[in-house]
Structures are given as structure tokens and as C-alpha cells.
Chain A
Amino acid sequence: MKRAVAAILAILIFIVLGLAFAKIPFGNVNLEDYHYYNPIQDKQTSDSVPAHYLKEGKNETGSTNIVTAVVVDYRGFDTLGEVTVLFLASTGVGSVMYIFEKEKRRKVRRANAVVETASKLLFGFIILFGAYIFVHGHLTPGGGFPGGAVIASSFLLLYLAYPKFHAEHKSLNVAESLAGLTFVGVGLIGLLVASYFLYNFLPFGLPTYLFSAGVIPIIYVAVGVKVGSELTGIVDAMMGVRE
């Protein structure tokens, strides 16, 4: 009886919510007279938001890669939230697996010679590739998240090849905290200079060069280091051997 009443109530609530949402217009019917207020230039334009990003993104952020311009500059606060979510996930995995580790120690077996030698040769190159991806995030496709994931996969290679290997927790934590502090610190400097968070306060420089686009490379290096150390921490919690 109670269940039936609850189900009917829930259905009624959903119907009311649906009718309420049906009254709200999302977007504009006539795409021709679309009005977008641009806070940076303080004027009305008829461009839609994506068209504005494609047309003005290079001038407003200095970044050649428009995806990076959106992710780090226009939607920089979202990226800070994403990095925080990843940090929480890494912390959760670490805390759960730590209790599990203490109860039971793992037996380990050596990998074969081919894997050991190949991983020794490849490790540096994979780290270099990951660093290239996030250092050139504002010029070529890629950025902090892919670069960090590539760096974490190079550490995974070491975990597979050498069962006794484990990354130092202290240096992982230091790298992660410093990267997070850099991100928030750059945002706060922007708040001091131009009165809004994550303002691009450095000079843009010449587009398509390494030192261009103001604070975007700094933020992307910080995101890359942070994602790399967090994912390495997850891999370490899952596969590492504590002595």
C-alpha cells in the first residue's frame, strides 16, 4: 500500500516537474537574431557562443588550439573542478586499498628479460612524450589530461616489469600539491590584477610559438603534473608492493 502511494506520488512529482520544464525556453528560436553579450569587449554580438569562440578565440586568449582556449581560459573554473574530482577519486582509492594492503602481503614474481629491458628503454621516451603533450597544449592537440595519462601509463610499465618497484609517496604528494597550488595561485593572481578569477594576465606573445597565450601553458603544465601524479598514485595503490 505504502509503496503504491509512494510510486503514484513520485510519478505526479515527475509530471509536474516535466510540465514546469516544458515552459522554459532553452536557446533561441530564431538563430538569425541571436544576441550574445560579450563581457570582455562589453558589447552585444549576433554570434552564437561556439561561433564566437572560433572567430575570436585566438585574439582573446592567444592560444592556437581552440579546444585548449575553451578548456583552460573560457571554462577554466570547470577544469579546476574536474581536477578536484580526480583528486577525490585518487584519495578514495588510496584510502580503501591501504587498509586492504595492511592485512595481506603479496607474493611477487619476476617479469621476463624482454619486458624488463624494453621497459627500461621505453620509460624515458614515454615520459618525454607525455611532457611534450602537456607543454605544447596550447599549440597542438592534447593538453594536461592526455599528458598526465601518458605519464601514468609509463609508470604502469615499470610496475609491470619490476614487481618490487613502487613510486615514492612523498614525492608524488609534493608534486600533486605544488601543481594544485600553482593552478589556484595563478587564478588568485588574476583576481588581484583584473578582479576576476583565472584572468589571463601575462602578455600573449606571438601565436604558434612556445611562449605564448599568457597563463595557459603554466596552468596546463600544472594540470599535467597533477593528473600524472594522481593516476600514478591510483596505479600504485592498486599494484604497488609494500614491504
Chain B
Amino acid sequence: MDLFMVVSLILIIAMLIAALVAAESRDLISAAIAMGVVSLIASILFYMLQAPDVAITEASIGAGLSLAIMIFAIKHTVRWEK
């Protein structure tokens, strides 16, 4: 196992944990932030796989714009899932 494989395994496991948190959390704001973490780790993985253009797009749309819009929508409805 070389360094690339170890780092990408750690990142993928962190991504899976964040995705589970996003699916299971009852606090919608922490679920949205976990979705942002999934996008951020995906963009790091894209960068490691030598696709820097896709990494920039994923970071700015997935972790930036959609996270902000989701948090804004939650702020104007309810925060806790019933």
C-alpha cells in the first residue's frame, strides 16, 4: 500500500461517515454541513485523481453555493426534523 492509497482510503471512509451523518441526523443544519463535507472530500479526491478543473467546480458549487442555499432554506423553515 503506497501513500496515495492510504490517503484516499482515509478520505473515502471520512466521506462515508459524513454521508451517514447527513442521512441520519435529526438536526437539519448539521445534515447540510455534513453534505458540504462530502462535497469537500469529493473535490480533494478529484484533485488527487488529477482533475483540478472538476475539483474547482465541485468545491465552489457543492461546498459553497448549494450549502449556502440549503442552510438559507432551513433557516426559513424548521431546524429539527420531527
Binding site for B on A (CB under 8 A): 67, 133, 141-143, 145-146, 149-150, 152-153, 156, 160, 231, 234-235, 238-239
Contacts and interface: CB of A to CB of B under 8 A. Distances in A.
Contacts of A152: 60, 65
A97 B37 CA distance: 27
Instruction: Tell me the interface secondary structure of chain B in the complex.
Output: helix
B60 A149 contact: yes
A142 B72 contact: no
B56 interface: yes
Nearest to B73: A238
A142 B46 CA distance: 13
A239 B72 contact: yes
22 contacts: A67-B53, A133-B56, A141-B52, A142-B53, A142-B56, A145-B57, A146-B56, A149-B64, A149-B65, A150-B56, A150-B60, A153-B64, A153-B65, A156-B65, A156-B68, A160-B68, A234-B65, A234-B69, A235-B68, A235-B69, A239-B68, A239-B69
A141 B72 CA distance: 32
Interface of B: 51-53, 56-57, 60-61, 64-65, 68-69, 72-73
Contacts of A156: 64-65, 68
List the 5 shortest-distance A-B pairs measured between CB atoms, nearest first: A146-B56, A149-B60, A141-B53, A141-B52, A153-B64
Contacts of B53: 67, 141-143, 146
Contacts of B65: 149, 152-153, 156, 231, 234-235
A133 B61 CA distance: 15
Contacts of A238: 69, 72-73
Contacts of B57: 145-146, 149
Nearest to A126: B60
Contacts, number: 44
Nearest to A93: B69
A160 B68 CA distance: 9
Contacts of B52: 141-142
Nearest to B51: A141
Contacts of B60: 146, 149-150, 152-153
Contacts of A235: 65, 68-69
A22 B69 CA distance: 44
A152 B64 CA distance: 10
B33 to A, nearest CB: 15
